[in-house]
Amino acid sequence: MSNIGTVFNRLSQKAGESFTKSEKTAPQAETAALLAQLDKMKPWCNQMIAAVEQFIDVTAATKVVDVFAKNKEKTTPADKITTAFKTVGEEATGFPKMSAYLTSSAAAHAHMAEAKKKFNENVNQNFLQILKDFVNKDLADALRQKNEMEKARLDLDSAKNKLKNAKTEENKAKFKAEVEKFQATYDREQDETTVMLRDTHNAFEKLKDAFKQFAAEEKAYYSTCMEECAKLCELP
């Protein structure tokens, strides 16, 4: 059958399944469970990526240019606090105690602002990129293989329907041979899909290490903030 004929045959089979309750060849139990997990992984990853991007100030605008450079140049709320405290501290010369405290506070907030920018950059490089690579490589490959298995399934079920509706012995023999051929192809694609889905399942599990690194980056950032704030609280 030509490529055009094969595509048309699959589309016809799929359309027929949409309007009728014709029986479909079901995957083996393990494959079915893994496929159900696969369908959830991309929405999960995209949801987490979007949330973390918002948390580290990655926006649609910053994606247009180099994210890291943009984050380094971007004026953050912490930068604005630093500027305000420093300006008033320098100008309030008639209030020596207040002036000295604001100057120290400005320096502390400058350190915290730099820590936040470093946190943003590290999370982008060491966490978000890992998630994006998983989506763009592991998941993309698994979804392509899932599609190959679905094509094989459509070919098999189309042949089964033709055999079921065959009237002559000649056609029965012809479509029986087609069923056997497509069954072998489907079994092979299912085996390959199952192996790839196991690998994808394991790769998703291993993303836990990336989340631990994310927590470590948070710990480092918040520890810096805590240290700076503790110093400010101890000042006279």
- Name all domains of the chain by residue range, CATH numbers in brackets: 34-234 (1.20.1270.60)
Return the percent helix, strand and coil in the chain, to nearest 5.
85, 0, 15
User: For each successive 10 residues of the chain (236 residues), what is the average pLDDT?
Assistant: 70 70 88 97 97 84 55 75 96 96 97 94 94 98 97 94 92 95 97 98 98 97 98 95
Q: Given this model, what pLDDT does residue 71 score?
A: 56
Q: Given this model, what pLDDT does residue 68 score?
A: 55
Find where tokens 């048309």 sit: 8
Q: What is the DSSP string of 113-167?
A: HHHHHHHHHHHIIIIIHHHHHIIIIIIHHHHHHHHHHHHHHHHHHHHHHHHHH--
**Integer CA distances (angstroms), 86 to 99, 100, 118, 122, 206, in order:** 9, 10, 22, 28, 46
pTM attached to this predicted model: 0.81
Give the CA angle between residues 18, 22, 24 to the nearest 5°. Answer: 95
Structural contact between residues 189 and 148, judged by C-beta atoms closer than 8 angstroms = yes
